[in-house]
Amino acid sequence: MTTKTDTPDDIAAAEKLERLNANLSKMDELSKRLVAAMGKKKSADPGLQAPGQEVYMQAAAAYMAEMMNNPSKILEQQVSYWGKSLKHYVEAQQPFVHGKIAAPEDKGPTDRRFKSELWDTHPYFNFIKQQYMYSSAAITDAMQNLEGLSDHEKGRVSFFAQQIVDMFAPTNFLATNPEALSKAVETDGASLVQGLENLVHDIEANEGDLLVSLADETAFKVGENIAATEGSVVFRNHMFELIQYKPTTEKVHATPIVIFPPWINKFYVMDLKPQNSLIKWVVDQGHTLFIVSWVNPDESYADVGIDTYVDDGYLTAFEQVKKITGQKQLNAVGYCIAGTTLSLVLALMKKRGDKTVKSATFFTMLSDFEDPGEMGVFLEDDFVDGIERQVADKGFLHSFFMSRTFSYLRANDLVYGPAIRSYMLGEAPPAFDLLYWNGDSTNLPGRFVVEYLRELCQGNKLAKGTMELSGETLSLADIELPICAVACETDHIAAWRGSYAGIKQFGSEDKTFIVSESGHVAGIINPPSKKKYGHYTNKDMTGTQDDWWAGATFNEGSWWPRWDAWLAEKSSKMVPAREPGSEQFPILGPAPGTYVKVKSNKG
């Protein structure tokens, strides 16, 4: 309340206080919503939440053993850390001694988490940052230098230690984040109100669990501004919809292509927008293209296993494509987990003498899990046992758990960074199509996920030649048709070295192996027009991964044209373009179909 005698400054201060009180009131209301939302959280097996205690026991035992057997090494590490920490403390005091309020010179490594200039110029924030950097480096070095652990055990210990280090970064807490504090002051608390609103929204959307929204969900609509390449659904069963795309050329290669995307996510990562759509690009090169759009399973799919995906998925899709096009053969493509399963299918078809598939292409695919890369930390019994118990109870594995797992492989980019922007700065998630797709993931059937993890990942049965399916014993050596495999240099889900190890074991004489720059998605969705990422090639696959890499040639630009040239040789003559469907296969609806629009629910 103001009076006639109040000065403009008094009025401004009163208005500021009024806004602040109003925002505090809103925060109180949102806090009640937050508590209510968290109360809706459904039970989940503890094994899905964190690694088993044995990981920490192994680390503690190894550290204690080293302390007993090599105390000088431990002492040297500790003294080094103490020395750096104390030296920085003394340096931080020097400006105050001379009557200045300033931060000491920062000679440490750059870290994009600390982009605000206050981390470098403000004494308080600079001190916190540098002490955190010294501490995190000391912990990381201690874990990496532990003796008495296997490489795999050391990898798990280091990974989960890094998770803890990243979680306790000062950027993740309001009181030690200068950017968030400054914005809160500038907005009279409005940024915190909006941040709390964003937090409540995310928890409500995930039924009591927290998964940070990475993209503005209102900015995209599947079938309109993403997944909009023209085509038609020409077949549907309980496992998938088959989409045939409308040709854009007068003539097409006689041999059609069918792409099997991973059923952990939806197929439209290959069709986000015209400029980077792999689907549109393939059609524009003169190919008759089909793609499988998998169903998003619920508890009614509890008994769906690998054999169901093979019989009612792959083999059924092959038969429909042959009938629609009138061709006896086709070219198949498998992406990630769908590529792993495609390798099973090809081995099975070889045993049966089925020559339907003329050539096969694999995107970021592991078929040998001896070295699964970073994903290996989640493939031990502590996590897999938890998944098995969860699906036994629910009938399926909800997409939430897989999304969270993949996010923590890049926690600073996919968890903490987005959380800071959304919850502390009060910013709306960006309208980013790739991140929207990333959040639109799917569930996994109960029997399938257990079989996949136990038999293929942990048991590595396909690479060992002991995988049993439909009455046959399968191995990678059974695959003898022409193969093109594309791996990605910095892939954190399907490491290129593991991909190479599997492809090397194929019985094919015609094998092409390509390593694209970038990661699991960006390395694949890399259109020639962007001229962003190059790729590596080497025809010699007789040696180790290091041998292949040492002899590889770097090529500027996308691998897409190289693949198309390879594919064209396997695609026969040109024929008049085919319109989607046929008299026997009437169009069931426009692309992208109905299955792709089904959202996951926790049941």
CATH code linked to domain 231-597 = 3.40.50.1820
Strands 231-236 and 251-253: unpaired
* Percent of the chain predicted with pLDDT > 90: 64
**Mean pLDDT over residues 136-146, rounded?**
84
Q: Which two tokens stand for residue 466?
A: 């002991």
Q: Collapsing DSSP states into helix, strand and coil, what is residue 253?
A: strand
Q: How many CA atoms lie within 13 A of 252 on its CB side?
A: 22
pLDDT at position 393 is: 92
pLDDT in tens, 367-409: 999 988 888 888 888 889 999 999 999 999 998 888 888 888 8
pLDDT in tens, 211-249: 899 999 899 999 999 999 999 999 999 999 999 999 999
* Distance from the Cα of residue 404 to its chain's centroid: 9
Q: Is the predicted pLDDT of residue 59 greater than 80, yes or no?
A: no
Window from 3-17, 247-261, 443-457 with minimum mean pLDDT: 3-17
Pick the catalytic residue from 336, 457, 484, 488.
336
User: Which part of the chain has CATH 3.40.50.1820?
Assistant: 231-597
CB atoms within 10 A of CB 600: 18
- In 261-409, where does DSSP find H-type helix? 278-284, 306-308, 316-325, 337-352, 381-394, 399-408
Length of the chain: 603
For residue 239, which phi and psi values (nearest 5 degrees)? Answer: -105, -30
457 is catalytic: no
Tokens 């040492």, residue? Answer: 550
Q: 129 to each of 134, 252, 411, how far by Cα in Å? A: 9, 59, 19
Q: Is the pLDDT of residue 160 over 80?
A: yes
